[in-house]
Structure 1
Amino acid sequence: MRRTLAEYEVDALIAIGGEDTLGVAAALGGEGIQVVGVPKTIDNDVAGTDYTFGFDTAVNIATEAIDRLHTTAESHTRTLVVEVMGRHSGWIALHSGIAGGANVILIPEQPFDIDQVCAWVENRFTIRYAPIVVVAEGAVPKAGQMVVKDSSLDEFGHVRLSGIGEWLSREIADHTGKEARTTVLGHIQRGGTPSAFDRWLATRFGLRAIDAVKDRDFGTMVALRGTDIVRMPLAEATVGTKGVEPALYSEFGVFFG
């Protein structure tokens, strides 16, 4: 790779992406390649930065979908399960679920009790309110396993997740005797017009990444801390992912059921 970079007169790389891309960038840095990282993922699960760009846009898309689904849920008096992205983290589910007025939010960091979920759903029906359940694709029931449609892998060796939403709607229908339907938002969350915040954040990250290259501060990643853009070791940012803290999830439990 050094030979290829030299051949094309590339002095440094700016790696833009999530845990996999930045993990590769960190490995390249360990081999002496001059690299700077920029965190970009809709999952918002890169450690060391408050937000990644792409996340806010995905949340806005999911929130709009939830807003629209309230209408059809009410008109047909059924439970609607909305499956959003989030393999290992529930940031999209939590933010869009709260913003969209969901009655149950299920995330990978907190295995759920299906009986409790059904109790929350039943409670909404008793007050003549059609419930909305938002679930991250990587959410799992207690003492259970990740629900998948097939075992195919992506380019980084991850199982292609999908199926928890359909499983959940079947369980809710069986437990409650009420109709339940699933909407899987899928890759619609990854495209479209970026939000103003994402444009602002991406611009600031880009400026600071260029500064890092000019300063020859390689092996670093730019990150958002509060309102400041800082640099941190790329190796630290890729040790693990950033999940939803239990205390934060519990804070919103008052809205469930």
Structure 2
Amino acid sequence: MRIGVLTGGGDCPGLNAVIRAVVRTAVGKYGHAVVGFEDGWRGLLQDRKVVLLNDDRNDRLLAKGGTVLGTARTNPTKLQAGLETIKQTLDDNGIDVLIPIGGEGTLTAASWLSDEGVNVVGVPKTIDNDIDCTDVTFGHDTAVSVATDAIDRLHTTAESHQRVMLVEVMGRHAGWIALASGLASGAHLILVPEQPFDVDEVCRTVKRRFQRGDKHFICVVAEGAEPDPRSMKLADGGIDEFGHKRFTGVAHQLAIEIERRIGKEVRTTVLGHIQRGGTPTPFDRVLATRFGTCAVEAAQAGDFGKMVALHGTKIELVPLADATRRLKTVPEQRYQEASVFFG
């Protein structure tokens, strides 16, 4: 068997651990060949360089962030229009099974290919943890750990200067990073995309905390959080080439409003891409390794059109169509649980 591998979308801690596990299992256990396509779907669309992946026993790949195959974002419309080109590239390279590793966009494309008769086994990755049908995706634990460490550090400087600190974390449509890092670090307020916020209520929460004698206020804000339009309007950034809304810095704009409305000094920290760069946590290394191994086992068994998923402590297979039907967002109940610690 000849297995193709690609990593699509944004980079994510743990991608190299998946690649390592796919190669070790496919080559070392079954004697299959593994071919890596560089730069994600773009590599398949343009028939770019392919790499024969050997049974690499360099365990340092486990600790290496990013992806050794490179990655790229591709416009979904162009991707769907190029399915025949992708199929031809796979045929030209003698690929029997494709293992795409990626988030919503990558797995949706994998589902399209599966519908076209291509043998596909998907591996979910995203720091946002917004892929449905799996308890968690690798990369999320690392992002939460990085954000939590940063917020822990901001507590001390905020308290020293009696300031309000807004910390913007990633989370375009889902607030899982904000929720987890905010709870873990003892933030005083968490704003997520799933729950529109009222700026006046935010200001009241800040004022109450200082009125009772506390010396600082930390608010974690997901990049996709939005205010109730009756209380504040964000600047319009338009749509990018991939069909995504361009964010204009919700934390910065909220900081201006808080200072204007209550006269309290506010500082903003945007963690940005450091959340998904660098060394993956042990949890993510292990989960990514298990995902990669399970993907090859599914390919060996001929169980295609599926995605590997974590259910409890087990790695199981779910239909790609089910996993890509909707995003997994923060339920209102989970947000209400966290709200006990607000203020």
Aligning the two structures, in what range does the TM-score lie when normalised by the shorter sequence?
Answer: over 0.9
Matches within 5 A, 1:1-257: 1-126=86-211, 127-143=213-229, 147=234, 150-154=237-241, 156-257=242-343
Question: Does the 8 Å contact 1:149/1:163 carry over to 2?
Answer: no
Sort the Cα spacing of 1:146 and 1:221 in 2 relative to 1 into closer, same or farther, 3 A.
farther
CA distance in 1, matches of 2:202, 2:145: 25
Q: Structure 2: which 5+ runs fail to align? A: 1-85
Sort the Cα spacing of 1:28 and 1:254 in 2 relative to 1 into closer, same or farther, 3 A.
same
* Residues 75-115 of structure 1 deviation map (CA, whole Å, 9 limit, x = unaligned): 11110000000000000000000111100000001111111
CA distance in 2, matches of 1:248, 1:226: 18
Instruction: Tell me the matched-pair count.
Output: 256
Q: How far apart are residue 150 of structure 1 and its match? A: 2.8
Question: Does the 8 Å contact 1:78/1:180 carry over to 2?
Answer: yes
Amino acid at match of 1:90: G
TM-score (norm 2): 0.72
CA distance in 2, matches of 1:159, 1:66: 26
Q: How far apart are residue 202 of structure 1 and its match? A: 0.2
Please give the root-mean-square deviation of Cα atoms over the aligned residues, in Å. 1.4
Higher RCO (CA < 8 A, seq sep 6+): 1
Q: How far apart are residue 129 of structure 1 and its match? A: 2.3
Amino acid at match of 1:228: K
Secondary structure in 1 matching 2:309: strand
CA distance in 2, matches of 1:73, 1:149: 30
* Residues 42-74 of structure 1 deviation map (CA, whole Å, 9 limit, x = unaligned): 000000000000000000000011011111111
Question: Does the 8 Å contact 2:163/2:215 carry over to 1?
Answer: no
CA distance in 2, matches of 1:143, 1:114: 10
Q: How far apart are residue 159 of structure 1 and its match? A: 2.0
Secondary structure in 2 matching 1:255: coil
* Residues 143-199 of structure 1 deviation map (CA, whole Å, 9 limit, x = unaligned): 368845632515x32123241010111111112111111111111111011001000
CA distance in 2, matches of 1:92, 1:146: 24
Question: Does the 8 Å contact 1:48/1:237 carry over to 2?
Answer: yes
Question: Does the 8 Å contact 1:58/1:190 carry over to 2?
Answer: yes
Please name the residue that 2:29 is paired with.
Answer: none
Question: Does the 8 Å contact 1:139/1:146 carry over to 2?
Answer: no
Amino acid at match of 2:237: D
Identity %: 58
CA distance in 1, matches of 2:138, 2:342: 29
* Residues 2-34 of structure 1 deviation map (CA, whole Å, 9 limit, x = unaligned): 222121111111111111111111111111111
CA distance in 1, matches of 2:172, 2:235: 11
CA distance in 2, matches of 1:147, 1:25: 35
Secondary structure in 2 matching 1:178: coil
